[in-house]
Amino acid sequence: PSIPAEKKDYTTGDHYSYVGYGQSYWATQTFTPLETYTTDKLVAYWSRAEPPGTITVALRLTDGAGKPTGGDLATGQTDGNTLPQMQTFDWRAVSIEPYELQQGVMYAYLARAPGAANIGSFYWRTTESQSAYPRGRSWISTNSGGSWGENWRDNNFEVWSAAKPGLSFKAGILHVRHPALLTVVHKRGELIVSGYDTLSSLDEECLTGQV
């Protein structure tokens, strides 16, 4: 069976306030995984006012101060015009290119809408304080990521692990050991025969068969 996707890094606590973004106003929430895993989905609690157009989410590394730095590691896009209008918020999941997050490394989850109608086109709901997520914090940029200032409340976010495919099996030799296995019994029609299986050989306690 496959291993389902799982919510790994996320805020807890009530939805408290919100901050508007669009054009040169970018949002970010940093987070630090407790284990190494591959993510392919970022989730945020958003609403909209004026049409924000396409919202791009991205992963970036952080610098020594915990602020986003460097280029995008993975990105995804969603139609911000389909978000619910203020004052209604909803969780929006955005698929990104699969990226392996490393245990103990702080990453930044960015959201930007450079083609938005104004700087308050979409809103990211926040928690009451920064204690809602202890291994990161939120930042705001007013110049398209050129610099970042502190936001005193964490953004409501989720980072999900990617689902893993199930196990597969290949044909080969099966070795079975059991102390009570002394004979092989097989049935043909109504006749029960005690002896060696034609597809296996019994050697004391070891049964070897082709599968």
The verdict on 40 and 144 lying in the same domain is yes
pLDDT recorded at residue 208: 44
pLDDT recorded at residue 155: 95
pLDDT recorded at residue 173: 55
The verdict on 13 and 103 lying in the same domain is yes
Supply the range of the domain harboring residue 202: 173-210
pLDDT recorded at residue 194: 45
The verdict on 150 and 201 lying in the same domain is no
pLDDT recorded at residue 39: 97
How far, in Å, CA of 42 to CA of 158, rounded?
6
pLDDT recorded at residue 181: 44
pLDDT recorded at residue 169: 46
The verdict on 19 and 77 lying in the same domain is yes
pLDDT recorded at residue 82: 98
- Please count the structural domains in the chain: 2
How far, in Å, CA of 159 to CA of 11, rounded?
10
pLDDT recorded at residue 52: 97
How far, in Å, CA of 29 to CA of 43, rounded?
11
The verdict on 121 and 184 lying in the same domain is no
pLDDT recorded at residue 166: 66
User: In the numeric block, which tokens belong to residue 107?
Assistant: 């990453």
Q: Identify the three-state secondary structure at position 82.
A: helix
Positions in the chain whose pLDDT score sits under 50: 168-169, 174-176, 178-187, 192-211
Domain membership flag for residue 167: no
Name, in order, each residue with C-beta under 8 angstroms of 89's C-beta and a sequence gap of 6 or more: 15, 18, 45, 46, 47, 123, 125
The verdict on 90 and 193 lying in the same domain is no
The verdict on 112 and 192 lying in the same domain is no
pLDDT recorded at residue 201: 46
The verdict on 149 and 190 lying in the same domain is no
